[in-house]
Amino acid sequence: MELVAPQPHVQLRENDVDNMLSLSEAPADKSTSETRKPAATKSKRRNADTGNASADASAQRARRSEIEKKSRQRRQGSLKVMRDEVKVLEREYLRLATRAANATSGGDSEQHERGVLLDPTQVQALRTKFLRLSSEAAALRKEQKQLHQVLHVQQLFRDSFQALSAEFAGAESDPRLDAVGHALFEPLASDACFSIMRDSYDVITRFEAGQDFVTTGSSLFGWSDRRRLDDDASKMIRKLFENQSCERLMEESWRTFSDLEFMRRVVFSSKVSVDLEILQVVNRDALVVRRRTNYRAMGRSFHTVYLLFRLQTASGYTVCFRTIPAPGIQQALGEGEAWIDLFHWTTLSRVPDADGMLTGCEISFGGSIGAGVMNFAAHWMLELIMTVVRWENACIAPLFIK
């Protein structure tokens, strides 16, 4: 047992272990043989761990050496590039200085260029000047880029302004329009306003309650037409919108017809010059509006003053505008201008679904024009149809119609 006891400070080599194992093969007590085997195994494991640690340390040292070598090579390469650039600059300076000296003295030939000695102070001054000029050149290039961007924005603004000026040219310089715009208008009394509203609602109710309607059977974006047999001057088109709130559509419609700028941009075609002005605010549900439409294709302008109002009905809402008398403006009309009586309405009726819930809304656009301008009826009907389509495009969903 004393022969195989492990010593705390002794490392066994592989040969020593083999020798000890060979000795252990001699006849001996069984317990002695079993005792030697664990000691030999422990020694082998210790040697293997020591070898692995040494190999790892060597690999790490090799990697560090390789990294340091590559870093040193990069630094050396950078220094070499910088030295080469300095040499190129010095040679260029030498050539230019020699040429300047030859031009001044008219003497030395180019073969003496390499023999000219430079003053270190002059070299440093030239380097400083070169760096300053390089910095100024970079700043000028950056400023040039910024100026190009500013110029692009200015050109875009100029083109947009010219396009808008061409579109609205002449609308404010027409003396006839100025005369109509400054014509006297007598404000509408509240009683007269309510009387017009009641009469208009009665006309709309009678028209929609009639049974003798005819239709062309045609449809435009889901809008179908109807007209009375006994009334060729009145027309109506309608469409059903499922899952649309009448309240929301009424608010959108009122916003559309009472926002004059929105009317100019969205409701009317760009080929029609429109001038709108609110003459009187009766209350939050009634306005008096002056309108002038100039149809360039016809070469005529049409004027009207109408009462724009909205009502709540048993089945929904009604938004209406109807021409009212305006003697001062009518008398100010000149050649090529005409007064037109318009009567347009929009009814919004709640429609139940299959379960009986009021989830839908049926929209009806109707109206008529006065008999004095029946030759304008085709333009009026086209205007009504396009107004309806643009209204749907703005209030419900885009139809990609301009």
Question: In terms of Cα–Cα distance, which of 193, 214, 182, 241 is closest to 395?
Answer: 241
Q: What is the bridge-based pairing of β-strands 300-312 and 337-339?
A: parallel
Percentage above 70 pLDDT, the chain: 70
Q: Three-state DSSP class for 118?
A: coil
What's the token pair of residue 134? 């390089």
* pLDDT per position as a tens digit, 359-378: 889 988 888 766 555 555 56
Fold type of domain 188-395: Alpha-D-Glucose-1,6-Bisphosphate; Chain A, domain 4 (3.30.530)
The one-letter amino acid code at 59 reads: A
Residue with tokens 């049974």: 211
Domain boundaries, the chain: 1-114, 188-395
Residue 221: pLDDT over 80: no
Say how far apart CA 375 and CA 302 lie, in whole Å. 12
How close are the terminal C-alpha atoms of the chain, in Å? 108
Whether the pLDDT of residue 15 is over 80: the answer is no
DSSP state, residue 5? P
Task: Please name the residue that has the structure tokens 């090799």.
Answer: 62
pTM confidence score: 0.52
pLDDT in tens, 249-272: 899 889 888 888 877 776 676 777
Supply the pLDDT for residue 48. 60
Contact 347, 208 (CB under 8 A): yes
Mean pLDDT, to the nearest integer, of 317-343?
87
Express each pLDDT in 285-305 by its tens digit.
Answer: 999 999 888 877 777 888 889
Question: Best-predicted range by mean pLDDT among 24-28, 221-225, 303-307?
Answer: 303-307
Q: With a cut of 80, say whether residue 321 has pLDDT above it.
A: yes
Rounded to an integer, the average pLDDT of 65-77 is: 85
Average pLDDT over the chain reads 75
Residue range 153-191, pLDDT digits in tens: 888 778 777 777 766 555 444 544 454 555 678 888 989
User: Which residues have a Cβ under 8 Å from the Cβ of 18 and sit 6 or more positions away?
Assistant: none
Amino acid at residue number 188: L
Q: Which residue has the higher pLDDT, 20 or 158?
A: 158
Kind of pairing, strands 342-352 and 231-241?
unpaired
Q: Show the CA angle centred on residue 377, arms to residues 386 and 184, nearest 5°.
A: 90
Neighbour-count burial for 34-53, b at 16+ CB within 10 Å, e otherwise: eebeeebeebeeeeeeeeee
Which residue's structure tokens are 């080469």?
Answer: 84
Give the separation between CA 48 and CA 17, rounded to whole angstroms: 13
Looking at residue 212, what is its pLDDT? 67
**388 touches 237 (CB < 8 A):** yes
Q: How far apart are CA 73 and CA 76, in angstroms?
A: 5
pLDDT, tens only, 131-152: 888 888 888 989 998 998 888 8
| Residue keyed to tokens 């009639």 | 210
